[in-house]
Structure 1
Amino acid sequence: MQYVFNPERVCAKVFMVEVDEATRTIVKFDFQGGCPGNLQAINRLTRGMHIDDVIERFTDMPICSGSKVTSCPEQIRKGLIALREKLDSGETSRPAFGLNAFGGLK
């Protein structure tokens, strides 16, 4: 299942995560904007991890000096919490993923 998150107050504009619904493990993490090296590292490090493990590891991360209130890991954590709630509720809506997800961005 693929989900798109719009982070707030960070350089990245969109986070996209593909999750295996049966195991709740991350298959792929993708993004638009932000720091490519850091976010590609997050993709590689979180691939194969259970979403609950990522949520736990990203708790209490330092904030970015530019935003003063949040960070990409914190925004990913919030997105994964929302994803977990959708999975728990059995919600089946599937937002656009890939290039189509970027259509509304400027």
Structure 2
Amino acid sequence: MEETFKTRGVCATTIQFTRDGDKIRNIRFTGGCNGNLKAIAKLCEGMSAEDIAAKLLGNTCGGKPTSCADQLARAVLGKEAISNV
């Protein structure tokens, strides 16, 4: 099932991915640091939501309380996005 997650507080504006059973596939970011986000998407391809969250949840970027990686973890867990406000 294709899902779209609206991010907050990061350069990427949306994250799209597909749930295939308990696996997350076809991760795509709109905006943000293209090369880094492509790498994150490749590394997380086929992982479970729980495994992605275990690795990425709470990751920050600069002085922000979140990051694109943290937003991906929130997206696959079905949590609300957080912002830097």
Moved over 3 A (4+): none
Report the TM-score when normalising by structure 1.
0.68
Aligned CA-pair RMSD: 1.4
Q: Is 2:72 the partner of 1:76?
A: yes
Larger C-alpha radius of gyration, 1 or 2?
Answer: 1
SS class of match (2:58): coil
Normalising by structure 2, we get a TM-score of 0.84
Greater strand share, 1 or 2?
2
Unpaired runs of 5+ in structure 2?
80-85
**Unaligned runs of at least 5 residues, structure 1:** 84-106
Determine whether 1:17 maps to 2:7: no
Which amino acid in 1 is paired with 2:74? Answer: K
The alignment covers a number of residue pairs equal to: 79
Sequence identity (%): 33
